[in-house]
């Protein structure tokens, strides 16, 4: 156990092997960033409409914030939580806390009171840094009301001007810079970041990662995509506080020495303008974001010539959207399967469209080995669908303050059981088949929403599709298909959409009985489709509502930043 009270459930001999064979750098993230700042001080580190900072300028910000946090009493093992919109500040906080031997616990804007309370309590955060206001909510007031239940919380820091009982982040960045000889010695195997995984639990899960695992796992995943790291310029549409977003600081800045492009919030038109301005080589986002960009009128005539690939993660993506992205953006496409729980697999740019649209590539044991297992965690025959289990240099240390989750999802050999379904084909490609928890059981038949959604999004007028279960006393569940359409497109009737699905081979017993239109699909704070919110907004679909009903829900986009 280390000073943060976190233990590593991956066998020590495996971690040592990854150091010996060079998979792990065996250096801290702060030390690696300093090396890049010394060799390329003028290279852009973070670019945004607000401000662009070079490596030297960002390092100066990091050292000033580290000194201010040190004066407050932040010591090795302490946790600093933050909830901020995307900017250079997130990267600076990551590095400053790492320099002090602390642990960052970021979570994306949009989390509600109950989630924030759970995250602060379970992380044992001594400090929190937040946007004072987001989405019309006074978050300073909210945190103050939560504080009696977050017993470790001592320091409240707001981005912007000083408020009553709150420190100002701007003032902390104006402190004098710390000298490196005043910083503690930090072990690369100690925790440096907690990733938030929503999963299927009532509270969000926190997963602890070490310096080595973030660099040697998540960093090397990006290196495998783009070996010349210093020319990697990645635009992040997802929040930097999300699991997917963790690769910005720790992968691009600390390992590759590349550049990060960020916007304060996701807006399709603003993203397209920023691509023309900042010339990223890669754009990282989730399928719904790319679907909205494809529907944007400003896409026509936009200069996207800098793009080498779209990197899509967070949830499954359908073949039609992949085809549309490659055609509209004129670049390659990388379908990424990954999660905070410690799994990673993706296709490569030299693989054909048949591979990209069918699978998420071959597992790379140098980042993450993958097995397919049954309910007893025994390997299933090749080609059989089972649960995906993962272990490798990417693997996290443990779930934070959640022994019951470690017991449920981890084993003594360090394997994580993801709850995702898939199979490995005869060529070694991993093919995803949805989540165990997402399977809709109707009249004893298991129905995968993914199959229906993929067929629906192949319709030329459909931007996004999602299937949610509707409780039924006789069958267990019925299915409501939720659609958002391109601007100006004529709405389809339920009969038209089921006819379209039938024409493309969907079995009659899998057809949805309800149809709902969303002006925009709601997104979770991490930028994924928020099916929980959608189910709540469709709560009127009670058992006594006749089947074959249609409705419209003018849901707003969620908190993706």
pLDDT (tens place) for every residue of the chain, 561 residues total: 555 679 999 999 999 999 999 999 999 999 999 999 999 999 999 999 999 999 999 999 999 999 999 999 999 999 999 999 999 999 999 999 999 999 999 988 877 788 888 899 999 999 999 998 887 888 899 999 999 889 999 999 999 877 788 999 999 999 999 999 999 999 999 999 999 876 545 678 899 999 999 999 888 889 988 877 779 999 999 999 988 999 999 999 999 999 999 999 999 999 999 999 999 999 999 988 999 999 999 999 999 999 999 999 887 788 888 999 999 999 999 999 988 889 999 999 988 888 888 899 999 999 999 999 999 999 999 999 999 999 999 999 999 998 999 999 999 899 999 988 899 999 999 998 877 666 777 766 678 788 888 889 889 999 889 888 888 777 778 889 999 998 889 999 999 999 999 988 888 888 999 999 988 888 877 667 788 788 877 766 655 555 455 554 443 333 222
Domain count, the chain: 2
What's residue 253's pLDDT? 97
CB 33 within 8 A of CB 46: no
CATH number at residue 64: 3.40.50.12780
Q: Which helix (H) or strand (E) holds 287?
A: helix 287-295
Whether 432 is in a domain gets the answer: no
Q: Rounded to an integer, what distance in angstroms lies between the CA atom of residue 95 and that of residue 37? A: 13
Strand order in the sheet with 282-285: 53-54, 44-47, 259-262, 233-236, 282-285, 309-312, 332-339, 343-346
**Environment class of residue 300 by beta-carbon count within 10 Å: exposed (0-12), middle (13-18) or buried (19+)?**
exposed
Domain enclosing residue 541, as ranges? 439-553
Same domain? 164 vs 228: yes
Secondary structure letter of residue 280 according to DSSP = -
Whether 162 is in a domain gets the answer: yes
Whether 560 is in a domain gets the answer: no
Same domain? 332 vs 480: no
Same domain? 356 vs 505: no
What's residue 560's pLDDT? 29
What's residue 532's pLDDT? 78
Same domain? 413 vs 537: no
What's residue 557's pLDDT? 31
CATH number at residue 483: 3.30.300.30
Whether 3 is in a domain gets the answer: no
Torsion angles phi and psi, residue 440, rounded to 5? -95, 125
Greatest C-alpha distance within the chain: 71
Residue appearing with tokens 């929403």: 449
What's residue 26's pLDDT? 95
According to the 3-state scheme, what is the secondary structure of 48-61?
CCCCCEEHHHHHHH
Same domain? 446 vs 417: no
Helix (H, G, I), strand (E, B) or coil at 552: strand
Q: Rounded to an integer, what distance in angstroms lies between the CA atom of residue 346 and that of residue 359? A: 8
Whether 559 is in a domain gets the answer: no
What's residue 3's pLDDT? 52
Whether 429 is in a domain gets the answer: no
What's residue 561's pLDDT? 27
Of 424, 452, 474, at which residue does a domain stop? Answer: 424
**Environment class of residue 167 by beta-carbon count within 10 Å: exposed (0-12), middle (13-18) or buried (19+)?**
middle
Same domain? 58 vs 125: yes
Of 424, 459, 494, at which residue does a domain stop? Answer: 424
What's residue 541's pLDDT? 63
Q: What is the pLDDT of residues 1-24, one digit of tens each?
A: 555 679 999 999 999 999 999 999
**Environment class of residue 403 by beta-carbon count within 10 Å: exposed (0-12), middle (13-18) or buried (19+)?**
exposed
Q: Rounded to an integer, what distance in angstroms lies between the CA atom of residue 457 and that of residue 501? A: 10
For 305, residues 6+ apart whose C-beta sits below 8 A from its C-beta are: 330
For 137, residues 6+ apart whose C-beta sits below 8 A from its C-beta are: none
Whether 434 is in a domain gets the answer: no
Count Cβ atoms below 10 Å from residue 188 Cβ, excluding itself: 22
What's residue 358's pLDDT? 87
Count Cβ atoms below 10 Å from residue 365 Cβ, excluding itself: 12
Same domain? 389 vs 474: no
Whether 246 is in a domain gets the answer: yes
Same domain? 500 vs 400: no
Same domain? 387 vs 474: no
Per the DSSP assignment, residues forming a β-bridge with 197 are 205
Same domain? 197 vs 231: yes
Residue appearing with tokens 């691509």: 275
For 89, residues 6+ apart whose C-beta sits below 8 A from its C-beta are: 159, 169
Same domain? 392 vs 498: no
HSE-CB at 435 with a 13 A cutoff on CA atoms is 12
Of 401, 424, 447, at which residue does a domain stop? Answer: 424
Taking only Cα atoms into account, the Rg of the chain, rounded to an integer number of angstroms, comes to 23
According to the 3-state scheme, what is the secondary structure of 329-376?
HCCEEEEEEEECCCEEEECCCCCCHHHHCCCCCCCCCCCCEEEEECCC
Same domain? 314 vs 389: yes
CB 169 within 8 A of CB 158: yes
């Amino acid at each position: 156990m280390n000073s943060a009270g976190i233990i590593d459930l991956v066998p020590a001999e495996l971690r040592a092997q990854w150091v010996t064979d060079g998979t792990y750098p065996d250096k801290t993230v702060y030390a690696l960033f300093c090396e890049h700042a010394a060799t390329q001080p003028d290279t852009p580190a973070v670019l945004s409409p607000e401000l662009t900072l070079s490596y030297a300028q960002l390092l100066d910000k990091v050292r000033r914030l580290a000194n201010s946090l040190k004066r407050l009493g932040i010591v090795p093992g302490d946790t600093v939580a933050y909830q901020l919109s995307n900017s250079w500040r997130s990267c600076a906080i990551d590095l400053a806390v790492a320099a002090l031997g602390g642990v960052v616990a970021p979570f994306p804007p949009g989390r509600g009171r109950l989630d924030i309370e759970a995250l602060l309590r379970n992380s044992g955060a001594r400090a929190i840094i937040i946007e004072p206001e987001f989405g019309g909510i006074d978050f300073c007031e909210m945190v103050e009301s939560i504080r009696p239940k977050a017993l470790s919380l001592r320091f409240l820091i707001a981005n912007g001007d000083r408020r009553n009982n709150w420190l100002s982040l701007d003032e902390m960045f104006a402190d004098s810079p710390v000298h490196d000889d005043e910083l503690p010695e930090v072990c690369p195997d100690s925790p440096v970041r907690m990733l938030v995984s929503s999963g299927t639990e009532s509270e969000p899960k926190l997963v602890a990662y070490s310096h080595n695992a973030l660099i040697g796992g998540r960093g090397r995943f990006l290196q495998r995509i783009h070996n010349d790291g210093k020319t990697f310029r990645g635009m992040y549409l997802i929040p930097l506080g999300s699991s997917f977003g963790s690769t910005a600081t720790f992968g691009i800045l600390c390992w590759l020495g590349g550049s990060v492009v960020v916007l304060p919030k996701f807006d399709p038109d603003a993203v397209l303008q920023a691509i023309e301005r900042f010339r990223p080589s890669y754009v990282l986002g989730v399928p719904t974001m790319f679907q909205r960009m494809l529907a944007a009128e400003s896409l026509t005539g936009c200069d996207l010539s800098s793009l080498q690939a779209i990197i899509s993660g967070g949830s499954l993506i359908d073949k039609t959207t992949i085809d549309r992205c490659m055609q509209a953006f004129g670049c390659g496409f990388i379908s990424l399967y990954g999660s905070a729980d410690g799994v990673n697999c993706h296709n490569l740019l030299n693989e054909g469209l048949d591979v990209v649209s069918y699978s998420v590539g071959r597992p790379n044991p140098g980042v993450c080995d993958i097995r397919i297992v049954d309910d007893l965690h025994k390997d299933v025959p090749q080609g059989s669908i089972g649960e995906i289990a993962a272990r490798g240099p990417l693997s996290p240390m443990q779930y934070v303050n959640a022994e019951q989750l470690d017991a449920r999802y981890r084993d003594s050999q360090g394997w994580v059981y993801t709850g995702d379904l898939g199979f490995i084909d005869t060529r070694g490609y991993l093919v995803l088949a949805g989540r165990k928890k997402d399977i809709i059981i109707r009249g004893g038949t298991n129905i995968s929403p993914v199959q229906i959604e993929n067929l629906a999004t192949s319709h030329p007028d459909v931007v996004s599709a999602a299937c949610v279960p509707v409780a039924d006393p006789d069958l267990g569940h019925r299915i409501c298909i939720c659609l958002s359409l391109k601007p100006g497109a004529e709405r389809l009737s339920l009969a038209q959409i089921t006819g379209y699905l039938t024409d493309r081979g969907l079995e009659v017993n899998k057809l949805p009985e309800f149809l709902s239109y969303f002006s925009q699909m709601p997104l979770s704070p991490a930028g994924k489709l928020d099916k929980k919110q959608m189910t709540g907004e469709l709560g009127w679909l009670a058992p006594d509502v006749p089947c074959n009903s249609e409705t419209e829900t003018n849901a707003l986009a969620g908190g993706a930043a």
